[in-house]
Structures are given as C-alpha cells and as structure tokens.
Amino acid sequence: MLSDNRAKELHDRTTRGQALSPEEQRQLEAWYAVQDRGEMARVGLPSSKPAASLQAQVDGVLKQLAATTQRIQELAAENEALRREIAAVRHQLAQRATLQPA
C-alpha cells in the first residue's frame, strides 16, 4: 500500500509534467481510486458504478434543461407576437384619435 505522503509526491510530480515510471503510475492510479471511493462515501454516493450514477443524474438534468429552454423559446415567441399585436392596436388607436374631431 502506497503511503499518503508518497502518493502526494507522485501526484505533485505528475501535475508538474514530470514522467512517472509505469510502476509509479500504477500506484498513483490505485491511490486515486481509493481517494475517489472515500470521497464518494463521504458525500453519500454509492461507490459501485459512481460514474454511471452521476452520468444518469447529468442526463436527467440535461433533459430538464432542454425542456426548460424549449419552454423559454416558446414564451419568447408568444411575447413577440403579443408585442406586435399591441403595437398594431396602438397604431389603430392613434389613427382613430387623429381622425376623430376634438
């Protein structure tokens, strides 16, 4: 088992662009996996297939976002139609006001 200090050293080296040996890379990836499982447990996510669970959540949120975006676009189109209608009515009222004697 890789000590935290050694793992942090390897992590530091790799993030600075230094090459790791294949064994060091394997050790670091194993340490990352342990850290990921620990983080998942701390936040209450199941450690089995966490990526699939998160992806499903992301997919669900993206569907909601798409539906909301579509509704916003529909409302924007309705608002624009109402603006045009209001402008036409105002124009008609202005014409009537100029045609009617005071």
Query: Do 56 and 95 have their domain in common?
Result: yes
The tally of domains found in the chain comes to: 2
pTM: 0.46
Same domain, 55 and 89: yes
Q: Are residues 81 and 42 in the same domain?
A: no
The domain in which residue 3 lies consists of 1-47
Instruction: Evaluate whether 20 touches 14 at the Cβ level (below 8 Å).
Output: yes
Same domain membership, residue 88 and residue 59: yes
Residues 19 and 29 in one domain: yes
Q: How many CB atoms lie within 10 A of CB 31?
A: 19
pLDDT at 46 over 80: no
Residues 67 and 97 in one domain: yes
Residue 36 confidence class, pLDDT cut points 50, 70, 90: confident
User: Are 77 and 63 found together in one domain?
Assistant: yes
pLDDT band at 75 (very low <50, low <70, confident <90, very high): very high
The predicted pLDDT at position 40 comes to 79
Burial degree of 10 (CB within 10 A; 0-12, 13-18, 19+)? buried
Per-residue CA distances from 71 to 64, 74, 76, 93 (Å): 11, 5, 9, 33
pLDDT category of residue 49 using cuts at 50, 70 and 90: low
**102 and 53 together in one domain:** yes
Question: Do 10 and 27 form a contact (C-beta atoms < 8 A)?
Answer: yes
Whether residue 99 has pLDDT greater than 90: no
Give the closest residue to 14 by CA, choosing from 37, 22, 50: 22
